[in-house]
């Protein structure tokens, strides 16, 4: 498929896990970001087909990053990565424009289903 993805998460472990799942599904990981601000900057630069976004990141959180990205590109496709118990934040992210969400711990099948829905 060769679709591109930008992975935003402050934990290397989570980034590499998401990367593995998506690579197996044929995605090309074109960039990674550890903070919200970095996510916005890298999105601007890379224009990936898909962004996976952690909610809690240092510097600028995932939700603010979604708002900025959506403001710059209303067609951006952002998938939120959330922990259980962050329901209110997930709802906020969705209202901010995120397309869908997955919940940690990730099940690869659920991640891929969500990705499919986002890219529709």
Sites of contact with other proteins (CB under 8 A): 82, 84, 86-88, 90-91, 94-95, 99-101, 103, 113-114, 117, 120
CB closer to other proteins, 2 vs 75: 75
- In whole angstroms, the minimum distance from the beta carbon of 53 to other proteins comes to 14
Q: Quote the least distance from Cβ 100 to other proteins, whole Å.
A: 6
Residues 5/28, Cβ–Cβ less than 8 Å = yes
For other proteins, which is the closer residue by CB, 29 or 81? 81
For residues 21 and 92, give the distance between their C-alpha atoms in angstroms, rounded to a whole number: 26
Task: Quote the crossing angle between the two packed helices 108-119 and 12-24, to the nearest 10°.
Answer: 70
Q: Is the Cβ of residue 71 or residue 91 nearer to other proteins in the bound state?
A: 91
Alpha helices in 25-100 (DSSP H): 36-46, 62-72, 87-96
Q: Taking the complex as a whole, how short is the minimal distance between the CB of residue 107 and other proteins, in angstroms?
A: 10
> What are phi and psi for residue 48, nearest 5 degrees?
-70, 160
């Amino acid at each position: 498929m060769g679709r591109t993805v930008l992975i935003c998460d402050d934990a290397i472990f989570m980034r590499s896990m998401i990367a593995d799942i998506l690579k197996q599904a044929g995605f090309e990981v074109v960039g990674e970001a550890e903070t919200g601000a970095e996510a916005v900057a890298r999105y601007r630069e890379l224009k990936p087909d898909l962004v996976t976004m952690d909610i809690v990141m240092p510097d600028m959180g995932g939700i603010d990053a979604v708002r900025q990205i959506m403001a710059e590109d209303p067609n951006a496709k952002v998938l939120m990565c959330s922990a259980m118990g962050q329901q209110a934040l997930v709802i906020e992210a969705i209202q901010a424009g995120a397309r869908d969400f997955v919940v940690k711990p990730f099940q690869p099948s659920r991640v891929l289903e969500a990705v499919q829905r986002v890219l529709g």
